[in-house]
């Protein structure tokens, strides 16, 4: 549609302005004719017979490709094979059980599970998934390099360092972490748990359950745990890479 003065005959020298307004599903393309053009407006000086034409074109349609993943799925609302230029589409990600959503990739950005994109071209969108790392606390030291509950991309390697408190020393890593040196790397190819065993000045090894006294039983390195909070004794095998116990 063209808005403006609808008169067909104008006095010599009259300046008229017309505005091109596209209907729904159409874009304004260009003006044709003798006039001063500014975007979708044209200013015409009537010093002779003039003809002007506004050109419109149907809005293009674009495709949206959602990458498949074994770790979760992406849905689009509304769901369609193609979308009109400028159409808004809501994307929602659903990770599988035990998996966490990390971020969007491709032609979508953000880290919230539901986002809205504008279809201004063909788009490809994927979701990056990860696993949660749980850090078990200890009374005798901390693990640095991650915070319990952090989510890391699948396959990512996380560097962890055990820092003993004053009066304690590092003993060994446990859970899904291993090693008898204070630094280790854990690969996030599943939900992972990391803990560190620390030894205090009395030779007690602190775990997530409490502290224990380290003993040798028939040449096998084992640890008898005295749990003050439950009043029971439990036994667990120390990591195989621990060569010596005080």
By mean pLDDT, which of 52-56, 81-85, 157-161, 237-241 is the weakest?
Answer: 237-241
Q: CA-to-CA distance for 64 and 125, rounded, in angstroms?
A: 8
By mean pLDDT, which of 211-220, 221-230, 237-246 is the weakest?
Answer: 221-230
The pLDDT, as a whole number, for residue 240 is 52
The pLDDT, as a whole number, for residue 242 is 44
The average confidence (pLDDT) of the chain is 83
Helical spans, DSSP H, in 137-203 = none
Contact 208, 138 (CB under 8 A): yes
Q: Between 78 and 139, name the one with better pLDDT.
A: 78
The pLDDT, as a whole number, for residue 200 is 77
The pLDDT, as a whole number, for residue 186 is 96
pLDDT value at 183 more than 90: yes
The pLDDT, as a whole number, for residue 206 is 60
Candidates 141, 146, 139, 144; CA nearest to 209 is 139
Which two structure tokens, joined as six digits, stand for 34? 């003798």
Q: Between 85 and 203, name the one with better pLDDT.
A: 85
User: Average pLDDT for residues 213-237, to the nearest whole number?
Assistant: 39
Candidates 28, 73, 72; CA nearest to 53 is 28
By mean pLDDT, which of 11-25, 40-54, 80-94, 195-209 is the weakest?
Answer: 195-209
* Cβ density class 97-116: b for 16+ within 10 Å, e for less: eebbbbbbeebbeeeeeebe
pLDDT digits (tens, 9 = 90+) for 48-61: 888 888 999 999 99
Q: At residue 157, what are phi and psi to the nearest 5 degrees? A: -100, 130
- 201 band by pLDDT with thresholds 50, 70 and 90: confident
Q: CA-to-CA distance for 36 and 46, rounded, in angstroms?
A: 12
pLDDT digits (tens, 9 = 90+) for 154-170: 999 999 999 999 988 88
Q: Between 1 and 223, name the one with better pLDDT.
A: 1
The pLDDT, as a whole number, for residue 143 is 95
Q: CA-to-CA distance for 215 and 212, rounded, in angstroms?
A: 9
pLDDT value at 30 more than 90: yes
pLDDT value at 244 more than 60: no
- 7 band by pLDDT with thresholds 50, 70 and 90: low
Which two structure tokens, joined as six digits, stand for 14? 């009259």
Candidates 101, 246, 84; CA nearest to 171 is 246
User: Average pLDDT for residues 131-145, to the nearest whole number?
Assistant: 92
């Amino acid at each position: 549609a063209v808005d403006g003065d609808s008169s067909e005959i104008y006095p010599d020298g009259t300046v008229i302005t017309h505005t091109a307004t596209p209907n729904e599903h159409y874009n304004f393309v260009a003006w044709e004719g003798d006039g001063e053009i500014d975007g979708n407006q044209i200013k015409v000086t009537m010093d002779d017979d003039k003809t002007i034409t506004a050109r419109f074109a149907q809005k293009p349609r674009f495709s949206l490709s959602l990458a498949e993943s074994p770790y979760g799925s992406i849905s689009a609302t509304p769901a369609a094979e193609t979308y009109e230029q400028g159409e808004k589409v809501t994307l929602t990600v659903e990770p599988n059980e035990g998996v966490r959503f990390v971020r969007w990739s491709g032609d979508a950005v953000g880290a919230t599970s539901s986002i809205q994109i504008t279809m201004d071209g063909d788009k490809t969108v994927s979701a990056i998934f990860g696993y949660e790392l749980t850090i078990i606390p200890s009374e005798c030291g901390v693990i640095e390099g991650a915070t319990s509950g952090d989510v890391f991309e699948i396959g990512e390697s996380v560097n962890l360092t055990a820092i003993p408190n004053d009066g304690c020393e590092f003993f060994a890593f446990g859970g899904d972490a291993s090693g008898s040196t204070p630094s280790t790397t854990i690969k996030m190819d599943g939900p992972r748990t990391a803990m560190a065993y620390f030894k205090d000045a009395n030779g007690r090894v602190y775990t997530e359950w409490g502290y224990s006294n380290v003993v040798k039983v028939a040449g096998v390195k084992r640890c008898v745990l005295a749990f003050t909070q439950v009043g029971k004794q439990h036994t667990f095998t120390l990591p195989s890479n621990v060569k010596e116990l005080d």
